[in-house]
């Protein structure tokens, strides 16, 4: 296992309501020194969840919302922040109800994914939700989200959809398709 670089200094060089930019000066085991910058979240950092909600044996739910980063309406999986004192599965069920109007009787934590580990510290917990039922909770979204279904057999088509660009969501959908295939619940 490689030795992690030695941290020589850390400093917050920019800050906003949501993010801080941290400058980290490092010395690697071969003596080379570099300065890295990374985005770090504000606050205690309880984390986030992304939910692959299976409405039936073949279809997962997607939601459409405005995304400030791309300045577009995008399709993705329901997702959101974990609130203080909330566990991953409870957060997933709450976000699913707020964003898609469904709850799940079965929730399973699958994995943790990062977005850009080279310069972002944020990670997201991927949860599989099955045995869905209709239930809506009031959320913090500024407008109602449109809900669509995606067939797990057509993920390559989804990847070509100009309204779908989130790599973590695509990875989570492929992961669930493979997992359900291994369990015999889905035949690709």
Task: For residue 66, list its beta bridge partners.
Answer: 73
pLDDT for 173: 97
Find the length of the chain. 188
pTM of the predicted structure, to 2 decimals: 0.86
CA distance 47 to 137: 20
pLDDT for 74: 94
Give Rg (Cα) of the chain. 19
Query: What are the two backbone dihedrals, phi and then psi, of residue 153, each rounded to the nearest 5 degrees?
Result: -80, -10
Using the predicted structure, report yes or no on whether residue 115 has a pLDDT greater than 90.
no
pLDDT for 70: 84
Residue 42's pLDDT band, with cuts at 50, 70 and 90, is: low
Using the predicted structure, report yes or no on whether residue 35 has a pLDDT greater than 50.
yes
Which is it for strands 48-53 and 79-81: parallel, antiparallel or unpaired? antiparallel
Check residues 141 and 23 and name the one with the higher pLDDT.
23
pLDDT for 44: 47
Distances (CA, A) of 94 to 75, 127, 150: 19, 12, 21
Question: pLDDT tens across 155-186, in order?
Answer: 999 999 999 999 999 999 999 999 999 988 76
């Amino acid at each position: 296992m490689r030795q992690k670089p030695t941290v020589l200094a850390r400093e917050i060089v920019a800050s906003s309501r949501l993010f801080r930019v941290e400058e980290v000066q490092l010395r690697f085991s071969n003596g080379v020194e570099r300065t890295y910058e990374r985005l770090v979240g504000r606050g205690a950092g309880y984390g986030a969840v992304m939910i692959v909600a299976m409405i039936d044996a073949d279809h997962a739910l997607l939601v459409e919302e405005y995304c400030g980063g791309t300045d577009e309406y995008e399709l993705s999986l329901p997702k959101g922040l974990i609130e203080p004192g909330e566990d991953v599965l409870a957060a997933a069920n709450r976000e699913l109800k707020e964003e898609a109007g469904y709850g799940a009787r079965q929730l399973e934590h699958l994995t943790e994914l990062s977005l850009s580990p080279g310069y972002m510290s944020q990670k997201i917990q991927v949860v599989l939700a099955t045995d869905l039922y209709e239930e809506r909770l009031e959320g913090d979204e500024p407008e109602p989200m449109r809900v669509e279904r995606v067939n797990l057999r057509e993920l390559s088509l989804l990847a070509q959809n100009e309204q779908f660009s989130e790599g973590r969501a695509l990875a989570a959908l492929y992961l669930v398709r493979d997992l359900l295939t291994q369990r015999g619940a889905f035949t690709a």
